[in-house]
Every structure is written in C-alpha cells, then in structure tokens.
Amino acid sequence: MASALLTNSAVNTTDHKQPLFLGVDGGGTSCRARIADLDGSILGEGFSGSANPRTGLDSACNAIMQATRAAMAQAGLEENDFGRMYAGLGLAGVNQQKERDLVLGWGFPFAGIFLETDAFAACMGAFNGRDGAILILGTGSCGASLIDGEVKTLGGWGFPISDHGSGASLGLAAIRYSLLAHEGMKEQTPLSLAIMATFDHSPEQAVAWQDSALPRDYGSYGPLVIEHLSKGDQLAEQLIRESAEDAAMMIRVLYQRGANQCALVGGLSEFVMPWLPEDVAAIATLPQGDAMHGALLMAMKLF
C-alpha cells in the first residue's frame, strides 16, 4: 500500500522561516515525538501514551499532539510554529485504508503529513532510509522488510500462538521447564529454582498466576534468565539458544524476501544476537537509528 501524504500548499506563503520536521513513533503503549531542523539537528523530544488509532482515533491523535507539544516546549517553540512543521507519522494500526483516512482527516495543524506504519518508520530508521529488514524482539516479536518502498511484515500475531523469540515466549518456556524440573522430569538448575521461588515452589500458585498473566508478565522473567545466563546456567543457555533459533528462522525469511541485512531491535535483541547461528550472524546487525529517526526521514521527504 502506498504511503499516505497530506500537504497544505497554502502554508508558509508569508512565513519565510526555516521548516521544521517532526518524527512520531506511535505504538499501542506509548508515543514518542522528535523535532529537528533542516540540518537534522534535534531540537526537542516528547512522550505520551498510546497512539494506535484502531483503539480510539481521538485518543491516538491527541497523544500525538501531546507528545509533539512536549517536544515543542523542550525546543522553545510556540503554537504558530505548527505552520512550518512537516510531520512523519509512523503509527501502529494504520495498515488499513480506513484508519489512514481517519488520521489524515483528523485536523492536524501541520504543514504536511507523511503517514505510514510504525514498522515502516522503524525500517527507515534502522538503515537510514535504505532497503533492509528489522526483527523486533521485545515482549512480543515481529519482523518487517522495506524493499523498494514496500513494507512486508512477518509474524507478530500475538502471544502465545506467535511472537517467536520474544520475551514473553522466553518466559513461558522458562516457567514450563521449571515446573517439569520441580516434579523431577527435568534437571533442576539455579534458574529453575529461582523461577519456582517466585511461586513459593508451588505449582498451584503458578496455575493461579497464569489465569490472569499477560504477555508482559511472562516477559518479566526475561531479566532472570539473562542474569543466570551470565553465570553459565545450563537452562538459561538452552532458553537463549532456542530464542536465537526462532530469531534465525524469521531472519532467513526476511533475507529470502530481498533484505541483505536485518537489524535486531528490542530489549532482548542484544542478548540473542551473540547466539545466532552462523548462517544468519553475517546478516544480523544493529540499527543505525530508531523509529523516530525513520519518521523524521519520512517528514523530510515532504519538503
């Protein structure tokens, strides 16, 4: 799907000030905004809540404005500066034309808008506007490739049926092993004991916990795995190797789609990266910039 653009040709006819560029990374949990000048110097950043229009158009757009105004305050800008501000909006939930049209028609005060998905912005930022792919390994996981201006996603259908290689999947695997070890079906390790200690070594408490546990609750066991990984715990190494194999599975498909490099992003990525199989280790890299940087690149395309 082509990127959605909105420009106001009547803006700045009497204002000869330099243009401003706004990059917004709007996800389901938070919204981040960054303002830069024509030279690319960062003037200010702001933060607010969820900016996914699928869960509420007004709340999402108001979150974008809140984060933008926070960035403007940091930059010393005023309301009349909106007229020279070109916005790149990388938002979750705008995969469908309906949501894209609603966002573009909401009434933002910007001089122009380049609207795309948050995955598009992340890919743009990771390779400074060039073709490539990203693999997000956070609480959830998702792959995306940007080839010749077209974004294709991979995975990310949600925990527990998808999100392979994610923090939530890592936590689930750790808890499942620890329950088996508690009952003598697997070998106990310091990590399995530490995990069972969070349930007072009671499978019944683990069952009660799972009844209301969310993906982030499973993901909260990730730091415990990483802590024991640094101590050479066999279970921790096994779990990280499995996460790395899941990540490699997705990287291989992204490579087959035409991405010569895949940037790993998200809190778990730095720990998985050293354990990647040899065939994908040469493809995996770190991102050159974040999604806000990619959104700024989108905004600059308008000018």
Give the per-residue pLDDT at 90. 94
* Residue numbers of the domain that contains 121: 4-128+289-300
Q: What is the pLDDT of residues 188-242, one digit of tens each?
A: 999 999 999 999 999 999 999 999 999 989 999 999 999 999 999 999 999 999 9
Domain count along the chain: 2
CA distance 157 to 152: 14
Express each pLDDT in 17-42 by its tens digit: 799 999 999 987 789 999 999 999 99
Count of residues for the chain? 303
Report field, pTM of the whole predicted structure over 0.85: no
Same domain, 116 and 85: yes
Of the chain, the percentage scoring pLDDT greater than 70 comes to 95
- Residue 1 half-sphere exposure toward CB, CA atoms < 13 A: 15
pLDDT at 123 over 80: yes
Domain co-membership, 256 together with 183: yes
Tell me if 85 is assigned to some domain.
yes
Q: Are residues 105 and 174 in the same domain?
A: no
Are 111 and 13 in a shared domain?
Answer: yes
Read off the CATH number of the domain in which 192 is found.
Answer: 3.30.420.40
Q: How far apart are the first and last CA of the chain?
A: 22
Residues 6+ apart with CB under 8 A from 157: 163
In a domain, 211, yes or no: yes
Q: Are residues 262 and 295 in the same domain?
A: no
- The confidence score (pLDDT) of residue 179 equals 98
Q: Please indicate, yes or no, whether residues 104 and 175 belong to a single structural domain of this protein.
A: no
Beta-strand ranges (E) seen in 27-178 are 31-36, 42-48, 85-91, 112-117, 132-137, 141-147, 150-154
